[in-house]
Structure 1
């Protein structure tokens, strides 16, 4: 006599049943390797890879080098860049398209690290004669050479997980024996969290870099997708009023919107 447990076990080894069980398992574990999944489900490495590719295409998990992660578990702050590049892609593109509208040709622009500003860099393709300064090590490869006149990358300690330089750095340059402060027309700062108490991120060095960029810009635009709203992370970057613009793919909740507007911040949405 066949029991429901036996039927369930057979279904688990059928492609559809196995993939459903695999998604559940990844959701429970948060992050797994191909080898772990092959052992867990008693199938070959190649079978697991095909399953992961299919589930990634369906948006049920996120395929990474050597395994997979649950999208929900990796949404917080310090997931690797390869993972974060695949999160909230449409939202970041919408934010980027809105952000480049406030960038003037011929201006000096600072951009910090993060995948949102990588989207901004790509969307600057129709701009010309910009001077760009960044701590984002991936940005030079993302922005077309015809867009900028000069491109500078700030030094500092390298964080491989985010592919940025970080920490407090000197925003002074020495020319003909004199110190000259770096000054931008606009700083585009992507943050990890936004609450009524201010903008924050998960790393003290990153917060110091963001704050320094803000201090050396005539105007500041803070960028965050809606998953960052209503959250507060370890390192505070600045008060809400430090920004001139806040750019999100949707209007923030009433409490955050009220706090932003009370600080004189203009909310920009697509």
Structure 2
């Protein structure tokens, strides 16, 4: 999704109310489904959804939309509970990660509460292009920091309030657009010397792998509670990242493995990281 701040013609009030009500009742819809139901073109539906999202009536995703009640129900427990875990550590990691971001750059941010803390901490930045699968990131980003925001489409995982699907966008012709970024900021579930970076969900792992493959530089965000653990799905080996940003020095075996893999370790109180 592109958050376009240009003015658009207002959609007819009757269709607007009907479309908003249908999204609210259904919870999650696609552009194609709405075009067929309301008898209008795909482009018309996209414009309508963009306008409704700008008015705060729904959450726009690439390829469709999600109702506010769906977002609220998912957030009430899963995300809010995780926001309070390791809260101080996440804030320290977020500050270090923000220091890597360069004004005018393009960044990708994945789902998770550590990356959400990063998004909130970008207030001193300007002219950023942000692509994310985290549905909470667009609202958390300081408006002064952002030029464009894009949300990757796909199914929404209620537990993480993030989409899982392809890291891609399509032109109006249907052709897939080639996209890349200057820096990918990836929160992971576990970090281990032998297993690398892992997470608990296969679809999320695949999406994170693709974000990493499209980035010139990669920063992994993980607090010290993630050390020495291995979860179900591997995201990548240690050497796929340029930086590991964390709150406490890792145990010796992990620290040695990171060093031998060429990964720069960024810790609070260390020298200021260089923008990627």
Common topology (TM > 0.5): yes
CA contact (8 A) 2:168 2:176 kept: no
Matched with 2:216 is 218
1:191-222 per-position Cα deviation (integer Å, ceiling 9, x unaligned):
00000121000000110111010000000000
Q: Among 177, 191, 194, which residue is 2:191 paired with?
A: 194
Shift of 1:172: 4.7
Shift of 1:238: 0.3
- For 2:210 and 2:114, locate their aligned partners in 1 and report how far apart those are by CA, in whole Å: 19
1:61-110 per-position Cα deviation (integer Å, ceiling 9, x unaligned):
xxxxxxxxxxxxxxxxxx82121011000000000000111100000000
Matched with 2:148 is 150
- For 2:101 and 2:80, locate their aligned partners in 1 and report how far apart those are by CA, in whole Å: 27
Shift of 1:175: 6.7
CA contact (8 A) 1:207 1:237 kept: yes
- For 1:255 and 1:205, locate their aligned partners in 2 and report how far apart those are by CA, in whole Å: 29
- Describe the shift of the 1:177–1:232 C-alpha distance in structure 2 as closer, same or farther (beyond 3 A): closer
Judge which range, 90-99 or 158-167, deviates more: 158-167
CA contact (8 A) 1:220 1:245 kept: yes
CA contact (8 A) 2:167 2:207 kept: no
- For 1:86 and 1:177, locate their aligned partners in 2 and report how far apart those are by CA, in whole Å: 42
Pair 1:171-2:168 in alignment: yes
Pair 1:113-2:115 in alignment: no
Unaligned runs of 5+ in 1: 1-78
CA contact (8 A) 1:135 1:153 kept: yes
SS in structure 1 of the partner of residue 135 of structure 2: coil
Q: Among 230, 233, 241, which residue is 2:231 paired with?
A: 233
Greater RCO structure (CA 8 Å; 6+ sep): 2
Matched with 1:161 is 159
- For 1:147 and 1:170, locate their aligned partners in 2 and report how far apart those are by CA, in whole Å: 23
Report the structure number with the largest CA radius of gyration.
Answer: 1
Following superposition, which runs of at least 4 residues in structure 1 exceed 4 angstroms of deviation? 175-179
- Describe the shift of the 1:257–1:113 C-alpha distance in structure 2 as closer, same or farther (beyond 3 A): same
SS in structure 1 of the partner of residue 209 of structure 2: helix
Pair 1:104-2:102 in alignment: yes
SS in structure 1 of the partner of residue 249 of structure 2: coil
Aligned CA-pair RMSD: 1.4
Matched with 2:241 is 243
Unaligned runs of 5+ in 2: 1-76, 269-276
- Describe the shift of the 1:160–1:255 C-alpha distance in structure 2 as closer, same or farther (beyond 3 A): same
TM-score of the superposition, structure 1-length normalised? 0.68
Matched with 1:37 is none
Shift of 1:177: 7.4
Q: Among 202, 205, 208, which residue is 2:203 paired with?
A: 205
- For 1:199 and 1:205, locate their aligned partners in 2 and report how far apart those are by CA, in whole Å: 15
TM-score of the superposition, structure 2-length normalised? 0.67
Instruction: Within 5 Å, give how 1:1-270 maps onto structure 2.
Output: 80-167=78-165, 169-174=166-171, 179-196=176-193, 197-270=195-268
CA contact (8 A) 1:173 1:182 kept: no
1:23-49 per-position Cα deviation (integer Å, ceiling 9, x unaligned):
xxxxxxxxxxxxxxxxxxxxxxxxxxx
